[in-house]
């Protein structure tokens, strides 16, 4: 696919991606104001934000396969933005938990992080995503050089932790986390097959 050109990307496509990415957040705020989040709004907010965090992680990981399969290098320009929205929703998810579930009690937070494995892995995932978000500006990326590539490989670990976090809070029906896990494995599988095919030692992208 041919590039639509720098101007169109900057002034049309990027604002469009921002707009679309913010829809779930706007819906959450709208639902909160209008009392349309169901009988347990706190739970709805927590679930919706967490799932969108996971979805944006998978969407971010879809960029590279899409670039390769459609030979459209310009799509790579959207990866940073989508990754930041992944962090945004995961951070909102964490804030909802910290405020509504824990009433901002950091003693409860410490207890959860150390005693409850699903929180431990979830929190680790959040820390990883925060590091990736902080180092996402182009200037920092240029300064870090190859270290940046190594650090951003941790997105895969964050994905695994996110899916395990979801799986470990499930009571009996694990259909949903399994579906996210399946898509994640597809995206990883594509990369592995490609890497083996090329037989290079370059890091995964």
Partner 1 sequence: MSNTIRKGSSNISENLVTDEKLYRQRRQFVKTGIFSSAGLSLAAYFPTLAMAALSDLPNRISDAPNTRKLDGEALNTFEEITTYNNFYELGTGKSDPVENASALITDPWSVSVEGECEKPGTYNLEDILKPHNLEERIYRLRCVEAWSMVIPWIGFPLADLIQRFKPTSNAKYVAFETLYDENKPLPGQKRPNLDWPYREGLRMDEAMNPLTLMAVGLYGKPIPNQNGAPLRLVVPWKYGFKSIKSIVKISFVEKEPPTSWNMANAREYGFYSNVNPQIDHRRWSQKRERRIGEYFKRDTLMFNGYEEEVAHLYKGMDLAKHH
CB of 32 to partner 1, least distance (A): 10
Burial class (CB in 10 A: 0-12, 13-18, 19+), 54: buried
Q: Per CB under 8 A, does 186 bind partner 1?
A: no
4 vs 117 by CB, closer to partner 1: 117
Site string for partner 1, 80-99 (x = CB under 8 A): --------------------
Provide the greatest CA pair distance for the chain.
55
Q: How far apart are CA 78 and CA 117, in angstroms?
A: 33
Query: Within positions 108 to 127, which residues make up the interface with partner 1, using CB under 8 A?
Result: 108, 111-112, 115-118
CB of 35 to partner 1, least distance (A): 6
Other C-beta atoms within 10 Å of 63: how many?
19
40 vs 153 by CB, closer to partner 1: 40
Residue from 13, 31, 41, 148 touching partner 1 (CB under 8 A): that is 41
Q: Per CB under 8 A, does 183 bind partner 1?
A: no
Q: How far apart are CA 95 and CA 56, in angstroms?
A: 18
171, 181 Cβ separation under 8 angstroms: no
Among 71, 89, 92, 59, CA closest to 187: 59
CB of 125 to partner 1, least distance (A): 17
Binding positions for partner 1, rule: CB under 8 A:
35, 38-43, 100-101, 103, 108, 111-112, 115-118, 168-169, 171-173
């Amino acid at each position: 696919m041919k590039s639509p050109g720098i101007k169109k990307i900057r002034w049309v496509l990027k604002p469009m991606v921002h707009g679309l990415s913010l829809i779930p957040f706007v819906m959450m705020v709208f639902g909160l104001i209008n009392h349309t989040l169901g009988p347990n709004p706190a739970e709805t907010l927590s679930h919706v934000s967490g799932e969108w965090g996971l979805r944006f992680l998978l969407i971010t990981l879809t960029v590279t396969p899409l670039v390769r399969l459609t030979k459209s290098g310009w799509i790579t320009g959207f990866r940073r933005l989508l990754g930041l929205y992944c962090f945004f929703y995961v951070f909102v998810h964490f804030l909802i938990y910290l405020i509504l579930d824990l009433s901002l009690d950091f003693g409860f937070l410490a207890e959860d992080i150390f005693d409850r494995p699903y929180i431990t892995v979830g929190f680790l995932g959040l820390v990883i995503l925060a590091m990736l978000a902080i180092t996402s500006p182009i200037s920092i990326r240029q300064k870090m050089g190859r270290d940046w590539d190594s650090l951003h490989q941790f997105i895969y670990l964050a994905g695994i932790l996110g899916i395990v976090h979801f799986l470990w809070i499930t009571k009996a029906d694990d259909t949903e986390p399994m579906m996210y896990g399946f898509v994640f494995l597809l995206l990883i599988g594509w990369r592995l097959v490609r890497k083996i095919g090329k037989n290079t030692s370059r890091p995964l992208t």
